[in-house]
Amino acid sequence: MPKREVDPDDGLQVDVVGPWATEKHERLRKYIDAYRSARAMFLPPKGTGGAAYIDLFSGPGRSMRDDTGQIIDGSPLVAYREALRSGTRFSDSHFNDIDLTNVDALKKRIAGLGGSANFYNEGAETAVDRVVYALNPAGLHFAFLDPYNLENLPFSIIEKLARLPRMDMLIHVSVFDLQRNLRRYLQDGRILDAFMPGWQSAIDPHRSDHAIRTDLLHHWLGLIRALGTTPADGIELVSATRGQRLYWLVFVSAHALGRKLWNDIRNVNVQDRLL
Ligand SMILES: C[S@@+](CC[C@H](N)C(=O)[O-])C[C@H]1O[C@@H](n2cnc3c(N)ncnc32)[C@H](O)[C@@H]1O
C-alpha cells in the first residue's frame, strides 16, 4: 500500500510519491499541450466528435514528494490545468480508481477547480467498459494509463481502448516487480498471461534476466502494434535518482504528429521547465 499523507491546503489525502512522478507528469503535460490543435478539430466550432481525457488509475489528484515534502498535482489535475492553459479543454473526463477515498478526494479537488468529470470506483478492467461505452467513436480521445504494476493492467484494457479509431495512449507502468520477481513470474505465468498473452513464445528462459525483460517488452509492444495501424513505440526507463526503479513507457498515437512528439516525451527534461 502507498503511504498516505494529507495536503494542508485542502485537508484531503495525498499519495506519497518519488521524484520520478514529476517527469511522468511532464510527459502528460507535453502531450496535452502538443495536441491542442489536433484536439480542437474535434471540438466545437470545428468538430463534434469530442476529445475525452481518460485516467483509469487516477489516484487522489494530489501527491507529496517523498524527497522534498512538496505537494504536487497528480495526473488528473495536471491534465485538467494543462488543457485549460492550452486553451483547448477536453470535452469530457473519465477518472477511475479502485480506492474510494482517492475517488472522493479527487471529486472534491476537481469541483474545487470549477471542473466536472465522470468518476468511477472499480477495477480498471471493468471500468474500461463503462468508459468506452460513454465515448463518441468519432472523437479523438486520450488515455493515460498509470498502474502501480503490470498485474493491474491486463492487456484487455488496452485492447478495448484501441477499438476506438482515434485513441491515443500514454502508458507508464512500473515493472520493478518484474525485475525482482522475474523467475517467479515466469514459473507461475498467470500475471504475464493477463498482461501480455502469448509471452512464452517470445522468450528463451536460458537467457539473462535483462535479456528476457527486453524480449518481454518487445513482445508487449508487438501486441499493442498488432491492435491497429497507429504508431506505437516504447522504452524501458530507469529512475535517474535511485537507479533501480524500472518503468515501461509506451506511447500510442493516431497522428503523424505522434512520431515527432514521442522523442520529446521519452526524453523529457524536467529541468527545462524549472528554468
Ligand atoms: C501510480 S498510482 C496513480 C497515480 C496518478 N496517475 C498520478 O499520476 O497522480 C496508481 C493508482 O491505481 C490505483 N489502483 C490500483 N489497482 C487498481 C485497479 N486494479 N484498477 C484501478 N485502479 C487501481 C491505486 O489506488 C492508485 O491510486
Report domain extents, the chain.
4-175+232-238+246-274
**How far lies 191's CA from each of 73, 178, 185, 196, 197, in Å?**
31, 10, 7, 8, 10
Q: Say yes or no: CB of residue 168 within 6 Å of ligand 1.
A: no
Q: Say yes or no: CB of residue 124 within 6 Å of ligand 1.
A: yes
**How far lies 81's CA from each of 22, 110, 124, 220, in Å?**
15, 10, 24, 32
Q: Say yes or no: CB of residue 74 within 6 Å of ligand 1.
A: yes
C-alpha to C-alpha distance for 271 and 257, rounded to whole angstroms: 24
Q: How do the pLDDT tens digits run along the chain, 275 residues long? A: 566 799 999 999 999 998 889 999 999 999 999 999 999 999 999 999 999 999 999 999 999 999 999 999 999 999 999 999 999 999 999 999 999 999 999 999 999 999 999 999 999 999 999 999 999 999 999 999 999 999 999 999 999 999 999 999 999 999 999 999 999 999 999 999 999 999 999 999 999 999 999 999 999 999 999 998 677 788 888 775 666 778 999 999 877 788 778 888 888 865 544 33
C-alpha to C-alpha distance for 235 and 153, rounded to whole angstroms: 17
Half-sphere exposure of 193 (CA within 13 A, CB side): 4
Nearest CA to ligand 1 atom 19: 123
Nearest CA to ligand 1 atom 4: 59
pLDDT at site 66: 92
CB-based burial, 46-64: b 16+ in 10 Å, e otherwise: ebebbbbbbbbbbbbbbbb
Cβ neighbours for 21, distance < 8 A, ≥ 6 positions apart: 63, 65, 72
Which ligand 1 atom minimizes the distance to the CA of 25?
A: 8
Q: Which fold has domain 4-175+232-238+246-274?
A: Rossmann fold (3.40.50)
110-8-80 Cα angle (round to 5): 20
C-alpha to C-alpha distance for 172 and 234, rounded to whole angstroms: 10
